[in-house]
Structure 1
Amino acid sequence: MNEGEKWRIEFEAAEKLYANAQHILSNTPSSRKETAIISTLHRLNAARDKLSTKLALLDVTPGERARREELLETLGDKGRRLREMAKFKDREKLLGAEGQTK
């Protein structure tokens, strides 16, 4: 398996984190929801950062690099949407927790 295929598999795993977060929002009791979402946001951000680093090292065409950069941007968009969907009472806590992963 080459590095490009490994990158794609890791990207798909990050996409599954977002799907998991949507499941958490709809099926987790409120008392545990915030902790679960914050944890998932940390994992999603860490996955995006790791993929970004790996992309910088991949030997791909400029067009392929641009396509993968767009995919990474979609992960960032999904993280922002996830924060909006969660609508936590203490938004500062959520935003502060996300900032720690950067």
Structure 2
Amino acid sequence: MTVARISMAEFNSEESANIFEERYQKVAPPALPEANSLTMIRTGPTSVMSVALYPDLETANNTLEARKDMLEEFLHTVKDLWHMEGAVSLHHVNS
């Protein structure tokens, strides 16, 4: 069963969000190779949401340490950071 991890981050400034967004695009794919897909959405000037899809919960859980390491350098610029997980009931992609 495919599992999604949705993460939300609110940064202290737009500049911090910009730096994170640029860095995440480079660092996330090699840091989370187990993910079937990675999507980042800029939800506001100082906020981002990311959605990572994994083949199953075990795989998703096995990436938590890599996720923590990847986010470590940004913790001082974050006002709020949280994530949740759930089973994916629809993943439609137009071809």
- Classify the TM-score, shorter chain: 0.3 to 0.5
From the two aligned structures, give the one with the greater strand fraction: 2
Larger radius of gyration: 1
> Structure 2 length as normaliser, TM-score?
0.32
> Structure 1 length as normaliser, TM-score?
0.31
